[in-house]
Chains A and B, each alone.
Chain A
């Protein structure tokens, strides 16, 4: 391998050399820390990895609060993902099929929140739904009730808006990539053979964009699980990332934090690899 004599061996060496920098980084910044974190969850001491104890894993299995957190995380992330992907289909459909004025600006605006960290998204939710929020006060004017009672930024609804706010752009960008490759001739044929626009969408367009929808679902769900800043500011629901912060912040329970982190990371990896079996890698773009 080190001193190749044939072109085939040289090619193999090139592949290894080209992949090497990434894997060096992934090892030191990804795999090694994950293994250390696994060890951390089994440590008897909370300040360093020393001794062995299964206490954290026992707590994780027996205490009902952790099942509740897992349930909160999963249903909330799934709901936010479904809504975001559905809106993403509508937005990419409209952007691709209809010619709206200022389309470039629309695309730029829709993509803007991808750049925003979760804490800024939380602020956006407060601007809309807080006590001085625009939506809150608009509703207050129409219903006649007080804006302070209507404020919902720090409720589950406000958090849901925050999630959707940061997820819709991601879902839309994946689906835009898919829509760009849809064969418009088949759609035109369907229309000219008498199919209504809805029938055309359901029987022709939808099967073509299905891989994109699956890819968007995978990516968006992963992003939804990873949201932390938004929920740290709004504090509306105990999800897994917030709980990890709580375990570290209150009592420095590093073993439990490590155990939760490991379960979370393994779930994410398993979900990704199982999910990607249904789609080609090419559809995954951010």
Chain B
């Protein structure tokens, strides 16, 4: 795998063929042909293979959720909405498989975490992109890399706030801290794409106080980044598992716990339908992010 792969990295350029055609010697053309004939197609096939591995199980799961039997390799008996009805709580015997209460609870908690992220994320992103100060790098590292992973944070929360175990407050605060890097990064990238120093100075010299310049000039200019950060933090919090698993009490049952119960216990097709609910949410999130200029579920903005 390794040799195959280093060799295949050979192709680095596409646009320069015509640059070289005039000065071609026998020697260069012989070496180029090996590189271009093998290197580039190999790389492209690696990418298609990886993309297939990533996307096929997603599509397979989504399609299976509409099938009526899955005894063979490929699901059969299309199209039925039985499993969707079941996981959405409209089935005849679907009381225990109802995703709606958990989803509602998770949606509310994720929204809380998102709002808290707006409150803490915008100011620190602004301070980090606008000012240079002592310990700037340390603060930046803390802000863009989560301090502790969800599982550890979960057991630490259990002992620190035992009376609030599984409460909405604990989940909101935990989700906010765990997902805050995404908000800070998207807002920072928005701030970096505009000249905030110049903007702020213009506003100040025209008579705006500093708070007014910040709230009415600076923040609106970062609205794309803020929206993108909101969508990413919200989507990630809506199905956060590691932290939730440690602190939840089961009443109300968060959406990720509903997913966990389905994945570990339910029949294959019902699990597929439960997971497909979340896939639909992610697809919507990615579509909105594309409108905001982020190609895909990422903090990178291509319009910079």
Most buried by B among A95, A176, A285: A285
Residues of B close to A232: CB separation below 8 A: 245
Interface residue? B94 (CB, 8 A) = no
- SS class, residues of chain B in contact with chain A: helix
CA distance A136 to B271 in the complex (A): 20
- B37-71 interface (Cβ within 8 A of A): 39-40, 43-44, 46-47, 50-51, 53-58, 60-61, 70
A79 lies within 8 A of chain B by Cβ? no
Q: Does B177 contact A (CB under 8 A)?
A: yes
The answer to whether B12 touches A197 (Cβ under 8 A) is: yes
Closest to A111 in B: B296
Tell whether, in the assembled complex, residue A197 and residue B36 are in contact, meaning their CB atoms are under 8 Å apart.
Answer: yes
Residue A150 at the B interface, CB < 8 A? no
Considering the chains assembled together, what is the distance between the CA atoms of A110 and B173 in angstroms? 30
- Asked if A168 meets B50 with Cβ closer than 8 Å, knowing A119-B260, A124-B58, A286-B185, the reply is yes
9 nearest CB pairs, A to B: A111-B296, A33-B156, A226-B149, A198-B10, A18-B127, A18-B123, A124-B57, A127-B57, A37-B156
A binding-site residues for B, Cβ under 8 Å: 10-12, 14-15, 17-22, 24-26, 28-34, 36-37, 40, 49, 86-87, 89-91, 93-95, 97-100, 104, 106-120, 122-125, 127-128, 132, 134, 137, 147, 161, 165, 168-169, 173, 176-177, 180, 187-188, 191-192, 194, 196-198, 200-202, 204-205, 219, 222, 225-226, 228-229, 232-233, 241, 244-245, 248, 254, 257-258, 261, 264-265, 268-269, 272-273, 276, 281, 284-286
For residue B105, CB closer than 8 A to chain A, the reply is no
CB distance B151 to A244 under 8 Å?
yes
What's the Cα separation between A211 and B67 when bound, in Å?
A: 47
With A98-B44, A191-B16, A233-B263 in contact, do A30 and B185 touch (Cβ < 8 Å)? no
B39 touches A197 (CB 8 A): yes
A-B contact pairs, 25 of them (CB 8 A): A25-B177, A29-B153, A29-B173, A30-B148, A31-B147, A34-B147, A91-B50, A94-B47, A108-B297, A114-B297, A117-B241, A117-B242, A119-B260, A119-B263, A128-B53, A192-B19, A197-B12, A198-B7, A200-B12, A229-B245, A245-B151, A257-B155, A261-B156, A285-B299, A286-B182
